Amino acid sequence: MSIEAKNVTKLYGAQKALNNVSFSVNQGEVVALLGPNGAGKSTMMKILTCYLPQTSGQVSVCGFDVVSQALEVRRLVGYLPEHNPLYLEMYVREYLEFVAGIHKLGKQIRQRVSDMIGLTGLSLEAGKKIGALSKGYRQRVGLAQALIHDPKVLILDEPTSGLDPNQLGEIRQLIRNIGKEKTVLLSTHIMQEVEAVCDRVIIINRGNIVADAPTSQVQLLNQTSRIIRVEFDRAYPAGKLREMDGVVDVVEAGPTGCRIFTQSERDLRPEVFRFAVNHQLVILSMDHEEQSLEQVFRQLTV
């Protein structure tokens, strides 16, 4: 197990930022912590990277406890904080050599810095001052800095916030590449990011985990897992349709159409077909509407 959090609570004075949170991340997974502002994402990441101690509960990285074995944890973790504190007056290569020095990489410093500059696509910027770089390139420097000591686990706090669409695509691609070799936990409030980059999503709201599932399945987690859109040839008895097993609600769309919200894992279209036959209705069209992650997120985090 790369990351293990058990019953973690964090209080800031009287305010509870995390409430009895438990989750784990396996080696090699790319997992998103998804939640609105103030959900507790940064707090969880600061605990995982030994910047803040939890109030109660246990957290470990690759088996090392973040409080009692912080040195080992820091060696194993690369961290890109939300407000990446780069030294704007330093040159890119100079800064990365400085960070590599902090990690005591010794003779490997030059080679390692060159490798990270190559990996993060900074070759043309290596001789520039960080202050002269665009936000997208500063994020690359942040990623290079987080990767410099070859950590097993990468913690990225809102890695794409403030980037333009081109930069966003590039940084996501970079994270996907890095994710082939390392365990990655990233935080975001952008649903498309989860769909584009992550294998699994942990949804957090007001300090509580409200969902934890593979990205592809999260749509099914919500109560109403599937919606069937149907159009009959004439008016139909909506009340009877509502009584059908597995149907949560029927929302009428014009006099002859409706959207059927279903709770069932099962595909209810055959039943809708039989319903039509029993009531001498002709089905003009019928299809499935998948809920987007965004819709699920809204419903789970209200």
- Dihedral of CA 259/190/47/108: which sign? positive
User: Shortest distance, CB of residue 168 to ligand ADP, whole angstroms?
Assistant: 19
Nearer to ligand ADP, 25 or 62 (CB): 25
Q: List, in order, residues 6 or more apart from 2 with CB less than 8 Å away.
A: 25, 26, 27, 28, 29, 61, 62, 152, 153, 183
User: Shortest distance, CB of residue 15 to ligand ADP, whole angstroms?
Assistant: 5
User: Shortest distance, CB of residue 157 to ligand ADP, whole angstroms?
Assistant: 7
Containing H/E element for 51?
Answer: none
Q: List, in order, residues 6 or more apart from 269 with CB less than 8 Å away.
A: 228, 286, 288
Q: For residues 60 and 207, what is the distance between their CA atoms, to the nearest angstrom?
A: 19
- Three-class secondary structure of residue 52 per DSSP: coil
- Three-class secondary structure of residue 205 per DSSP: strand
Helices (H), the chain: 41-48, 70-76, 92-102, 109-119, 135-147, 165-179, 191-197, 218-221, 238-242, 269-278, 293-301
User: Shortest distance, CB of residue 36 to ligand ADP, whole angstroms?
Assistant: 7
User: Shortest distance, CB of residue 39 to ligand ADP, whole angstroms?
Assistant: 4
Nearer to ligand ADP, 40 or 136 (CB): 40
Q: Footprint of ligand ADP on this chain (CB under 6 A)?
A: 12, 15, 17, 35, 37-43
User: Shortest distance, CB of residue 82 to ligand ADP, whole angstroms?
Assistant: 7
Tokens of 75: 């060696």
Contact 163, 136 (CB under 8 A): yes
Nearer to ligand ADP, 79 or 275 (CB): 79
Nearer to ligand ADP, 41 or 140 (CB): 41
Containing H/E element for 267?
Answer: none
Nearer to ligand ADP, 16 or 259 (CB): 16
Nearer to ligand ADP, 15 or 68 (CB): 15
User: Shortest distance, CB of residue 199 to ligand ADP, whole angstroms?
Assistant: 21
CA atoms within 13 A on the CB side of 205: 11
Nearer to ligand ADP, 59 or 268 (CB): 59
